[in-house]
Structure 1
Amino acid sequence: MSVGDAFDEWADDGRDREMEDEHWATAKQLLARMPVEPGDRVLDLGTGSGYAPRAISQAADAGLAVGLDASPEMVTNARSYTDDSDVGFLAGDFHQLPFESESFDHCVSMESFFFATHPEELLAELRRVLRSGGTFYCGVNYYQENHYAHEWADRIEPEMLLWSATEYRSAFQNAGFQLAEQSYVPDRDTEIPPESEFPTAEFETREQMVERYRELGTLLTVAVVP
């Protein structure tokens, strides 16, 4: 099953809003770090429900915030969640971005980069559509060091890249980006019960849950076009 087909099913089941709720705790921190100025053009890669373009438009007064997704149904849903004329959505291929060269100031991708079947092609396309000095903020929970997320491969049908932090840095640099930052963004919104309530359905100990949400969190890699 393709990524688009898989997430069409998720959109039809209402899981786009579930993903938004799950990702927002760290996504809002990632978005707050982006140096978006009034009038900037921002691309959200793998937009899902479109929460990132909506938030960027409202908080930063971006000139245009565009969400791209491989799933037409996700795009249909995202369009229905806003009437902001400065926010747009379209379905498209990560590896052949339907935009002119140097047409965006920034790109953000939250929990979607690992669905790229040819990541080198995707990075080359991002280099093309971002202007000089443009930034790419890439956030992933599914990465090698986060062993708690490895079981996603058994639950999500499309194949996913399981890269380490080092592999993300190397791939971005090999694509011609300059690495500006790499860090772990904690989820501080998820409530962690007291020790007396463990084990839970997901964690044997409280220490494991603290590691998962407060220490590992989301791997953020920030790259800049020279």
Structure 2
Amino acid sequence: MSVSEEFDRWANEGRDKGMEERHWHTAKHALARMPVEGEARSASEHSSGDDEEPREAGDTILDLGCGSGYAGRALRETKDAGRVYGLDAAPEMVRNARSYTDDPQVGYVNGDFEHLPFAEDSIDHCFSMEAFYYAADPHAALAELHRVLRPGGTFYCAVNFFEENVHSHHWPDAVGVEMTRWSAAEYREAFRSAGFHVAAQDNVPDRETEIPPAEDFPTEDWDTREDMVERYRVYGTLLTVGVSA
């Protein structure tokens, strides 16, 4: 089954909201770190008498593999981002995301990561949570991101499926789609090859998923409490931050 078909099914079953709830544990920490310039700040700077013609107030954000669209909406609400686009390969995910907001500055499009429907140097920052590894060609996807990001723009790439997280290695079989499993070092190398400076890379722990006491193990999903602690508290989410050169 293709990625779009599988996640169309998830959207039709209402599982997009469950994804949002689980991902928010670490996504919110990554989003808080993004250097997004909001509408109010941008408008103030443009009124300083500078003769240069101002851009549209507020940064333009791309949420790559947006699912329900929660990340982009959060950046509008918390950082006053100027314009937010969410892109997803699954048409039903896009349809659901559109239904969750009436904000005219937030839009959702169906498309693939290797052919982004945006002009060169048109995006200030990109965020992707638990989606990048679904790209059919992740190197081509990074090249496309480098094309559409303005010089100095950032790509915050957050994944839970990666080489060091041994507890995620079975996910492709469980989900039924192909996924690219890179190590932290491979993410850094791929970012640099695409023209990004790697500004940061770290693991963001999930401190909100409840972990039962040791006597409750094994559970349906975990053999030992140590494994579950390692998955959520140690590996958590791998966040790689690239800056477009």
Shorter chain as normaliser: what TM range? over 0.9
Deviation at 1:205, TM superposition (A): 2.0
CA distance in 2 between counterparts of 1:32 and 1:153 reads 29
Q: Secondary structure at the match of 1:48?
A: coil
1:85-124 aligned within 5 A: 85-124=104-143
Amino acid in the other structure paired with 1:165: A
Deviation at 1:201, TM superposition (A): 1.7
Establish whether residue 53 from structure 1 lines up as the match of residue 90 from structure 2.
Answer: no
1:1-226 aligned within 5 A: 1-38=1-38, 39-226=58-245
Deviation at 1:191, TM superposition (A): 1.1
CA distance in 1 between counterparts of 2:92 and 2:224 reads 39
CA distance in 2 between counterparts of 1:153 and 1:99 reads 30
Q: Secondary structure at the match of 2:150?
A: strand
Length, aligned pairs only: 226
CA distance in 2 between counterparts of 1:185 and 1:224 reads 19
Q: Which 4+ runs in 1 deviate beyond 3 A?
A: none
TM-score normalised per structure 1: 0.98
CA deviation profile, 1:84-143 (whole Å, cap 9, x unmatched): 111111101211100011111100010011011111111111011000000000000010
Q: Secondary structure at the match of 1:43?
A: strand
CA distance in 2 between counterparts of 1:196 and 1:8 reads 39
TM-score normalised per structure 2: 0.90
Amino acid in the other structure paired with 1:57: R
Amino acid in the other structure paired with 2:130: E
Deviation at 1:196, TM superposition (A): 2.3
Q: Is 84-93 or 179-188 further displaced after alignment?
A: 84-93
CA deviation profile, 1:170-209 (whole Å, cap 9, x unmatched): 0001111000011000001111122222222222222211
Amino acid in the other structure paired with 1:17: K
Please provide the CA RMSD for this pair.
Answer: 0.9
Q: Secondary structure at the match of 1:84?
A: coil
Larger Rg: 2
Q: Which runs of 5+ in 2 are unaligned?
A: 39-57
CA distance in 2 between counterparts of 1:172 and 1:94 reads 15
Amino acid in the other structure paired with 1:206: R
Amino acid in the other structure paired with 1:181: A
Percent identity over the alignment is: 61
